[in-house]
């Protein structure tokens, strides 16, 4: 299955999807027909400037959702919350990156002029929310007196912005509450408006804590290059990233690469690598069947004391204690 769309304030995902696949609409709800799978897509108008689309379904075929960026300026901000249990993938360039509630791509805040393609595998549960918010509505809702550079860029509706955040346990819990909410609740619209405000609060609380820096416009080919860089960083966690090599591979100047990566992912390349390294260490200790020394050596640590100090910094305890259940 393949569905392509261009995001703008007038676009109605539900109506377009129904027309594309010849599915009848029941008000603001679309029931996936048995021949395609199970589940539904719902649209909820929370206010004149904010809409929510709830995707919850399982399909018999792979599903590709292709967003074509619109070059004409508009005031729509898109916030996507991916809560999939199984790993879908987001393709912003030559290589697809994992997309699930535990990935760094779980929450995407983007302008409408950037392309992205999401692939959901067949026969897996798909849960995600898409909030479309007009910038003036968002500005009024947040009411931040001194927004940092990241938040100001979003509120200004600047072209070419893209920010990713990981999904906290608290955010994931609320997303599940929204996707699982009863549809016969007479106060359902009120409930979803409250929950959406909670989600936006938690996301913008994260964004407001990012270090302020000059915002650079993210171009469509920059998205592809950043995807390549992130994939290269994570391809071998035993080897620290070489900035000159990454820049050469992606076709970036080194300074631009460092600045743009931090802008989009909220951290430096090395800190991002180290965070991923420690997450992998925690996984290997709990689920990989490796000892502390085996884990440290596999992740490139020649000095196990150094590994222990770094691990404790990220996880609050020594690796041996963590492996034993804390």
Considering the domain architecture, whether residues 166 and 285 belong to the same structural domain is answered as no
Considering the domain architecture, whether residues 37 and 124 belong to the same structural domain is answered as yes
Q: Does residue 186 belong to any structural domain of this protein? A: yes
| Residue-range definition of the domain harbouring residue 233 | 220-269
Considering the domain architecture, whether residues 252 and 191 belong to the same structural domain is answered as no
Q: Does residue 213 belong to any structural domain of this protein? A: no
Write the pLDDT tens digit of every residue in 139-164: 999 999 989 888 988 888 777 788 88
Write the pLDDT tens digit of every residue in 206-252: 899 887 667 777 887 787 788 788 888 888 889 999 999 999 998 98
Considering the domain architecture, whether residues 127 and 255 belong to the same structural domain is answered as no
Kind of pairing between the strands at 63-67 and 76-82: unpaired
Q: Does residue 214 belong to any structural domain of this protein? A: no
Give CA torsion, residues 192, 198, 199, 201, to 10 deg.
140
Where is 6: in which H helix or E strand?
A: none
Write the pLDDT tens digit of every residue in 172-181: 889 889 988 8
Q: Tell me how many domains the chain contains.
A: 3
Considering the domain architecture, whether residues 24 and 161 belong to the same structural domain is answered as yes
Tell me the C-alpha distance between 125 and 59, whole Å: 8
Considering the domain architecture, whether residues 203 and 225 belong to the same structural domain is answered as no
Considering the domain architecture, whether residues 240 and 178 belong to the same structural domain is answered as no
Q: What is the CATH number of the domain that holds 303?
A: 1.10.10.60
Q: Where does a domain end: 208, 237, 259? A: 208
- What is the structure's pLDDT at 100? 45
Considering the domain architecture, whether residues 45 and 131 belong to the same structural domain is answered as yes
Predicted TM-score (pTM) of the model is 0.70
Considering the domain architecture, whether residues 85 and 191 belong to the same structural domain is answered as yes
Write the pLDDT tens digit of every residue in 89-148: 555 444 455 544 445 557 888 887 777 778 888 898 888 899 999 999 999 999 999 898
Tell me the C-alpha distance between 179 and 295, whole Å: 38
Considering the domain architecture, whether residues 277 and 167 belong to the same structural domain is answered as no
Q: Which residues contact 225 (CB under 8 A, 6 or more apart)?
A: 93, 250, 251, 252, 257
């Amino acid at each position: 299955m393949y569905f392509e769309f261009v995001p703008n304030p007038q676009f109605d995902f539900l109506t377009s999807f129904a027309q594309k696949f010849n599915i009848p609409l029941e008000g603001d709800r679309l029931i996936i027909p048995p021949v395609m799978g199970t589940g539904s897509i719902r649209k909820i108008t929370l206010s004149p400037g904010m809409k929510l689309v709830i995707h919850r379904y399982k399909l018999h075929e792979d599903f590709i959702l292709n967003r074509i960026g619109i070059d004409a300026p508009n005031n729509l901000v898109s916030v996507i919350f991916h809560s999939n249990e199984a790993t879908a993938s987001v393709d912003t360039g030559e290589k697809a990156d994992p997309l699930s509630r535990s990935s760094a791509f779980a929450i995407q805040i983007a302008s409408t002029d950037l392309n992205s393609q999401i692939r959901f595998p067949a026969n897996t549960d798909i849960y995600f929310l898409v909030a479309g918010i007009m910038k003036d509505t968002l500005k009024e809702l947040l009411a931040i007196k001194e927004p940092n550079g990241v938040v100001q860029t979003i509120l200004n509706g600047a072209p070419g912005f893209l920010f990713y955040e990981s999904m906290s346990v608290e955010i994931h819990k609320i997303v599940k509450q929204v996707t699982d909410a009863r549809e016969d609740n007479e106060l359902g619209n009120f409930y979803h408006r409250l929950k959406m405000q909670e989600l936006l609060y938690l996301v913008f609380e994260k964004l407001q804590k990012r270090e302020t820096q000059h915002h650079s416009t993210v171009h469509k080919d920059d998205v592809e290059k950043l995807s390549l860089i992130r994939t290269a960083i994570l391809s071998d966690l035993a080897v620290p990233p070489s900035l000159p090599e990454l820049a050469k591979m992606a076709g970036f100047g080194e300074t631009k690469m460092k600045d743009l990566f931090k802008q989009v992912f909220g951290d430096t390349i090395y800190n991002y690598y180290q965070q991923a390294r420690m997450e992998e260490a925690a996984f290997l200790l709990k689920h990989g069947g490796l000892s502390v020394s085996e884990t440290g050596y596999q992740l490139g640590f020649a000095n196990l004391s150094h590994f222990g100090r770094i691990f404790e910094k990220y996880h609050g305890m020594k690796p041996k204690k963590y492996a034993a259940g804390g």
